[in-house]
Structure 1
Amino acid sequence: MKTGFVLLLASMFWGLSQGHYALAGTEEMMKLNQVKAQIRTRFPAVKQLSTDEYKQITAQSMAVKPVLLDVREFDEFKVSHLKGAKLSTDIGDALRILRVSPKTQKIVTYCSVGYRSSALAKELAERGFSNVFNLEGSIFEWANKGYPVFRGNERVNKVHPYNSKWGKLLEKKYHP
Structure 2
Amino acid sequence: MIFGLSFIACQSHAQVKSGTFNFTLKMLLSRDVPEITVADAAKNSGRYMFLDAREQKEYNVSHLPSTRFVGYDSFSITFLNDLPKDKPLVVYCSIGKRSEDITRKLKKAGFTNVHNLYGGIFEWVNQGNQVYDLQNKPTDKIHAYGKLWGRFLDKGTKVY
TM-score band by shorter chain is 0.7 to 0.9
Q: 2:31 aligns with which of 5, 29, 43?
A: 43
Q: Distance in 2 between matches of 1:128 and 1:160?
A: 31
- Once the two structures are superposed, the pairs formed by residues 1-176 of structure 1 within 5 Å of their partners are 31-40=20-29, 42-44=30-32, 46-58=33-45, 60=46, 65-90=47-72, 93=75, 95-152=77-134, 153-171=136-154, 173-176=156-159
Structure-1-length-normalised TM-score: 0.73
Question: Which structure shows the higher helix fraction?
Answer: 1
Residue 67 of structure 1, CA deviation: 2.2
Residue 142 of structure 1, CA deviation: 0.5
Q: Distance in 2 between matches of 1:66 and 1:91?
A: 23
Q: Distance in 1 between matches of 2:111 and 2:28?
A: 20
Contact kept, 8 Å, 1:32 with 1:113, in 2: the verdict is no
Larger Rg: 1
Task: Provide runs of 4+ in structure 1 moved above 6 Å.
Answer: none
Structure-2-length-normalised TM-score: 0.79
Determine what percentage of the aligned residue pairs are the same residue.
31
Mark the CA change 1:125 to 1:91 in structure 2 (over 3 Å): closer, same or farther. farther
Q: Gaps (5+ residues) in structure 1?
A: 1-29
The Cα RMSD (Å) is 1.9
